[in-house]
Chain A
Amino acid sequence: MTEATIEIRGVGKSFGPNRVLRGVDLDVGRSQVVCLIGPSGSGKSTLLRCVNFLESYDEGEIRIEGELIGYETTKEGRRTPMRAQRLREMRREIGMVFQQFNLWPHMSALANVAEPLKRVRGLGSDEAEERSMAMLKRVGLAEKATAYPSSLSGGQQQRVAIARALAMQPRLMLFDEPTSALDPELVGEVLEVMRSLAAEGMTMLIVTHEMGFAAHVADSIAFIDGGRIVEHGPPRKVFHESQEPRVRQFLQTYHDRNAF
C-alpha cells in the first residue's frame, strides 16, 4: 500500500469552549473498513463529518488520497478555506450515508438516486436512470423504484440512501450510524448491504453501535472517548485484549444491555 485513502493527522475541533476533537490521528487504507465506536458525545460523528468537511476542523489535516480537504495552503504557508468548486468535486468522490437517511421526500426512490447523477455528474436522463435502476437492484429494491420515501420502511429508505451514494461511484464511503434510527428487525437488511460492499473492496469509515457487525467486518476498530482515540487496532485486540478501562467499561455496558 503506497498511501492511505483517508489520512487524519492531529485533527482538533471546538464548538465554542467545548473541545470535541483533540489531536486525532487515523488512517484508512484502500479497501479497508474502519469502524469508529465509543460513547455518545465522544466526537465520533463529528470526526466522520470532518472527513467530507460537512464540519470544519480547526487544527491538523485530513487528506483524501493525498489531497487536503477543506483548506488550501498558500505560498506563504497560510491556510485558507478551499475553493467551493474544488470542495464539491472532492465531495463527489466521498459517499455519505446518514443516520436519518435524508432522502428527498418529493422524489421517488429512483429519482432520489438519479437526481445527483444528472445534476452533479451531468449524465443524461436515460443513462442516469439505467444506472440508478441497477443500483436499486443491487440493494434489493428494484421493485420499489417508483415508491416515494414516505411509503418505504426505514430499512428500505436507508438502502435507497446507500444506492444514492453508491451510484456516484465514490472512492470511499462514510456511514454515520446508519442503523441507529431503525427498528431492530430492519437493521439486518442494511448491514447485509454494507457487508457485501466491504466484500467488494469498498473503502469504508463507519460510525456504529453494531458491535457484532464491527467485529466481523472491520479491519480495524477505533475507540473514541472525549475527542481522542483511546484504543485502535484489529477487532480482536479492541474487543478482547484491551487494557484501557474506558473501553472495557463501554463494552461491559454494551454486553449488559444485550444480555437476556
Chain B
Amino acid sequence: MHPEVVLNSFGYLTQAAGVTVALSLAGIALGFAIGSLACIARLSRKPWAKCLGGAYVSIFRGVPLLVQLLFIYYFLAKIGFDVPALVAAIGGLSLASGAYQSEILRGALNAVPRGQSEAAVALGYAPADIWRRVLLPQALRISTPPLINEFILLLKASSLVSVVGIAELTRVSMNIASLTYRPLEAYVAAGLFYLAINLCLSGLGALAERRLAVGGKA
C-alpha cells in the first residue's frame, strides 16, 4: 500500500466529496418537491392525476438509475438543449429520488390512523386545517427516518453520475487511479469518504428518530 498517493491528493478528494454531498442535497431537496407533488397526485380523486402519479413512480423506480441518467443526458442533447452535464445529473437524481420519496410520504400519510382526522372532522375542522395541524406534523415525523435513509441511498447512487463526467467523488478517484496507477489506494480512499459521510447521516437519522419520538408513539 502506498498511502502517500492518497495523501497527496487529499484536498482534491475532499473537494470532490463536497461535490458529491452538494449533488445529493440538491437531488434530495428537488426530489422532495417532486415527490410531494407525485404523492398529492396519487392521493387525488381525479383519475388522470392518480394515473399520472402512478406511472411516474412506476417508471422512475423501475428503470435503473444509470439508464435514466443516460436517457436524460441524450434526450436533452437530442432535442437540442445544450445544458451542462451537471443539470442532467441533478435532474436525473431528483427525478429518481422523487419517485421513492413519493412512496415514503404516501406510506407516512397512510400510517396516520384514520380516527385522528375523524376526530378533527367531528370538531368542525376545515380540510386545510386537518392537513396542517393533524396529518402533516405526524406524517413528517413518521417519514423523517426513511427520508434520511433515502438520502444515504441517493448519496451512494450519485456515484453513477461519474459516467457523464462530473468531478464528484467516484470520478475523481477514477482519475487518481489512472494517473497514479494505484487504483487500490484511490478506491479505498473514496470508499472511506463515502463511509464517513454516511456514518454522519445515519447518526443524524438516529438522533432525529429519538427527538421525534418525544411524546408521539407515532
Which residues of A approach B to under 8 Å, CB–CB? 52, 54, 84, 88-92, 94-96, 98, 100-108, 115-116, 119-120, 148-150, 161, 164-165, 168
On whether A94 and B122 interact (CB within 8 A), knowing A100-B115, A105-B138, the answer reads: yes
Nearest chain B residue, comparing its CB with the CB of A96: B122
Check: B123 CB closer than 8 A to any chain A CB. yes
Closest 4 CB pairs of A and B: A148-B215, A92-B124, A102-B119, A102-B115
Residues of B within 8 A of A101 (CB): 115
Sort chain B's interface into a size bin. Answer: 20 to 34
B120 partner residues in chain A, CB cutoff 8 A: 116
Question: Smallest Cβ distance from B136 to chain A, in angstroms?
Answer: 10
Whether B215 contacts A150 by the Cβ 8 Å rule is: yes
Interface of B: prevailing SS: helix
| Additional 17 contacts, C-beta under 8 A, given A105-B116, A148-B214, A150-B216 | A84-B126, A91-B121, A91-B124, A106-B215, A106-B216, A106-B218, A116-B123, A116-B125, A119-B125, A119-B129, A120-B124, A120-B125, A120-B129, A148-B216, A149-B215, A150-B215, A168-B124
Q: Which residues of B contact A108 (CB under 8 A)?
A: 215
Cβ-based interface call for B70 (8 A): no
CB A73 to nearest CB in B, in angstroms, measures 22
By a CB distance below 8 angstroms, the chain B residues around A96 are: 119, 122-123
Nearest to A108 among chain B residues (CB) is B215
Binding site for A on B (CB under 8 A): 113, 115-116, 118-127, 129, 133-134, 137-138, 141, 214-218
Query: With a CB–CB cut-off of 8 A, which chain A residues contact B133?
Result: 104, 115, 119
Residues of B with C-beta under 8 A to A52: 122
Closest to B137 in A: A106
> Which of A103, A107, A150, A168 is B123 in contact with, Cβ under 8 Å?
A168
Q: How many A-B pairs with Cβ below 8 Å?
A: 80
For A151, give the chain B residue with the smallest CB separation. Answer: B215
Cβ distance A161 to chain B, nearest Cβ, rounded Å: 8
A165 to chain B, nearest CB (A): 8
Q: In whole angstroms, what is the CA distance A255 to B216 when docked?
A: 40
Q: Is the CB of B119 within 8 A of A89?
A: no
Contacts of A98 in B (CB 8 A): 115, 118-119
Contacts of B138 in A (CB 8 A): 104-106
A89 to B125, CA, bound (A): 9
Instruction: List B contacts of A104 (CB < 8 A).
Output: 116, 119, 133-134, 138
B115 touches A89 (CB 8 A): no
* CB nearest neighbor in B for A90: B124
Cα A96 to Cα B122 with chains together (Å): 6
Q: Which residue of B121, B122, B127, B217 has the most chain A CB atoms within 10 A of its CB atom?
A: B122
Q: A102 to B123, alpha carbons, bound, how many Å?
A: 12
Rounded to whole angstroms, the CA-CA distance of A102 and B130 in the bound complex is 13
Q: State in angstroms the CA–CA spacing of A210 and B125 once bound together.
A: 31
Nearest to B130 among chain A residues (CB) is A119
Q: List residues of chain B with CB within 8 A of the CB of A103.
A: 119
Q: Given A88-B126, A104-B134, A105-B218, are A54 and B116 neighbors across the interface (CB < 8 Å)?
A: no
Residue of A whose beta carbon sits closest to that of B134: A104
A165 cross-chain contacts in B, Cβ below 8 A = 122-123
Evaluate whether A100 and B113 lie within 8 angstroms (CB atoms) in the complex, with A106-B141, A119-B129 already known.
yes
Contacts of B119 in A (CB 8 A): 96, 98, 102-104, 161, 164
